[in-house]
Amino acid sequence: MKAFDAGFAAHIGSGATTLATCWKLTRTDGAVLGFTDHDAAMSFDGTDYLPAHGLDGAERPARLGAAVDTSEVAGVLHSDAIAEADILMGRYDGAAVEIYRVNWRNVDERTRLGRWTIGEITREDGAFRAELRSGLAALNVPKGRIYARLCDAELGDARCGMDLSGAAWRAEAVVTAIGDRYRIEVEGISGFAAGWFDLGIAAWSSGVRFGLKDRVLATERPGTEDVLSFAVPVGEWAAIGDTLVLTAGCDRTFATCRARFGNGVNFRGFPHIPGSDYVLRYPRSGTKRDGAPVVP
């Protein structure tokens, strides 16, 4: 049973309540937004809660055990609060949502109903519907390691150990043309070998996608221009003149780790595991099977 503080409990027990629901959204980029279903703005704990047109929350069931509690919040898309483009670009993916029940006459009388994470977001007819997942959803994330030939570290993280801040691994580029939804042309990386930024990261430093990071699938150099291909439709929001910082990529193989980065000692894969073709190979006379390491 949830316990309320004395002031809020007294207000609930009065029989004539003046309650409103407030939602505090904290995006992964650090932006904080506050909304309320009341018709006037409120402010507490340093966050302003603005009236959101058509914002409504569904019932939130509480379950015993390790089951993930889910709920949803629905609202109308409008540019001064939650824009459709921001949802499409993923700015709200994984955002934290805190839900409060507040006495709008005295905001000191309030209680936090819970903390959730935004899951799937759907859009339809100018409105959005966001799934809210409880903290138990974090238990669904796989833990531990998988024995595989490829490295399971992210290039540049603590397990990898590579310092990517040097000029050899980073470059500033400028968008010069939009090829299609998934491809853009850039200048500024002609001094690097072709394919140097394959599977790298593009961090947008200006434009509509400012602050976002996207994985570069491949780079091409058909002529004097460099073409970047992405898995997401960045071409829908990129514009000529937008700038981005590119970081070198890695295909997670031992050969690339050792030859390109000189970081074989920190390789986090198992390149000498025999493949299925070796394991299932039919025994033949004279074949050596003494348990020694099998190096491809």
- 12 plus 125 within the same structural domain: yes
pLDDT at position 169: 94
- 15 plus 114 within the same structural domain: yes
The whole domain housing 119 covers: 6-139
pLDDT at position 64: 47
Per-residue pLDDT tens digits for 190-242: 899 888 999 999 999 999 899 899 999 999 988 788 999 998 899 888 999 99
d(C-alpha 182, C-alpha 174), whole Å: 16
For 57, the enclosing helix (H) or strand (E) is strand 56-57
pLDDT at position 51: 85
Per-residue pLDDT tens digits for 102-127: 999 999 999 998 888 887 777 776 67
- 184 plus 124 within the same structural domain: no
pLDDT at position 65: 47
Is 1 within the bounds of a domain? no
Tell me which residue of 99, 121, 105, 113 sits closest to 47, measured CA to CA. Answer: 99
For 11, the enclosing helix (H) or strand (E) is helix 6-13
Domains contained in the chain, number: 2
CA-CA distances (angstroms) from residue 167 to 93, 209, 233, 248?
A: 32, 24, 28, 10
Is 255 within the bounds of a domain? no
d(C-alpha 66, C-alpha 180), whole Å: 45
d(C-alpha 279, C-alpha 293), whole Å: 13
Is 290 within the bounds of a domain? no
pLDDT at position 171: 94
Q: Given its phi and psi angles, is residue 252 left (phi above 0), alpha (psi -120 to 50 degrees) or beta?
A: left
- pLDDT averages per 10-residue partition of the chain, 296 residues: 80 88 88 88 91 60 52 58 78 86 92 84 73 73 82 93 92 94 93 92 93 92 89 90 95 93 93 76 69 58
Is 39 within the bounds of a domain? yes
Is 242 within the bounds of a domain? yes
Residue pair 183/175 in contact by the 8 Å Cβ criterion:
no
Residue pair 77/129 in contact by the 8 Å Cβ criterion:
no
Q: What are phi and psi of 248, to 5 degrees?
A: -55, 150
For residue 99, give both structure tokens: 């839900």
DSSP string, 15-34: S---EEEEEEEE-TTS-EEE
